Copies of this chain bind each other. A is one copy, B any other.
Amino acid sequence: MAGTGERSSIQSVADAAGVSPTTVSHALSGKRAVSPRTRERIFAAIEAQNYRPNMVAKGLRSRRTQSVALLLVDIANPYYPAVARAIHDVLAAEGYVSFIGNTDGDADTERKLLEEMVARGVDGVVMQPVALSAAEVREIAGPETALVITTTEAGEMPADAVLTDDVRGLTEAVTHLADQGVHELGFIGGFPGASAGPLRVDTFEAAIGGASVPEGWIEHATFTREGGEAAAARLLALPHRPRAILCANDLIAIGAVEATRAAGLRVPEDVAIVGFDDIDTASLVSPALTTVVNPAAAVGDACARTILWRVEHGPGAPYRKTVLPTHLVVRQSA
């Protein structure tokens, strides 16, 4: 019988077992030896009272909350759930819980959410900053909080990082196009000013080896089908239009396909379209999307493991960088 309503405390368990709260604490944590007979009485009392340690009190005292914050751009955008799920799985197995936040790539939101999480004493944060620099993020997180940044940027940063080699997959796409004689490439990116975060213009430029791009062939869109459709329409309305469009994510690419057809052009014969991420939908639409595989689950997994590793090793250990490859999967759209 539980049921009296009152949550029991470590003190009430100690009373029932005839020991001190300290001993109960140690019986639970295993941080120091407790005799078998005492243990037994303690656990009997815990059972009887249906006692559950108050994690808030524990967090305040021990300065460890067994929690981590996931600060992603937008959980509703199909790439992120797979990342979040992978992170959640490895963290949950280690007894951590996850906070989740959507930044939308907005500087104020990124800052506010991060501060909020730090104020809640999270042991770690996994973040994909878009508007904030890695240095700013570290500044807010403080030196003690485990911090993993995911992005494509490979420069130095004062944090552990899980990077995807976006240039590699995109270069494969460029090569694949070139093999078919397609050299006139346009690009639709997201967040115009961003120096980190989702696929960016500089990645595109790296992939085309610094070749110059005609005026207007680089467009920006929100990471949605609608955004892609509008941006592609602008691109295709140009007097001299590209023969292929590389897109910062698959949703944009799907919108671009629609815009292309709406303009009376064929995909891929008139305009080839390449997506990015390889979300489930990519292989299901028609034409099936030729796209660059962004290994969401592997990214999430690496982020979580890095957090765990950092929590274990403390802030003193050197920064750890994990780079995951991306690669092209050729389907029908290019």
Which residues of A are at the interface with B, using a C-beta cutoff of 8 A?
5, 7, 52-57, 59-60, 65, 67, 70, 74-78, 80-82, 84-85, 88-89, 92, 97-102, 113, 115-121, 142-143, 225, 254, 280-281, 284-286
Contact = CB atoms under 8 A, between A and B. Distances in A.
Contact of A75 (B54, B67, B75, B117): B75
Given A60-B60, A281-B281, A284-B284, A54 B102 contact: no
A143 B92 CA distance: 26
Nearest to A59: B56
B76 A81 contact: yes
Given A98-B99, A284-B281, A120 B82 contact: no
Nearest to A3: B139
Given A78-B78, A99-B100, A52 B115 contact: yes
A284 B258 CA distance: 10
Contact of A121 (B54, B98, B117, B281): B54
A127 to B, nearest CB: 15
Contacts of A75: 75, 81, 84-85, 88
A248 B222 CA distance: 31
Nearest to A52: B119
Nearest to A117: B97
Given A280-B78, A281-B281, A116 B102 contact: no
B101 A97 contact: yes
Contacts of A284: 254, 281, 284-285
A65 B134 CA distance: 29
Contact of A65 (B56, B101, B142, B286): B56
Nearest to A53: B119
B120 A97 contact: yes
Given A78-B78, A85-B74, A5 B143 contact: yes
Contacts of A113: 92
A299 to B, nearest CB: 13
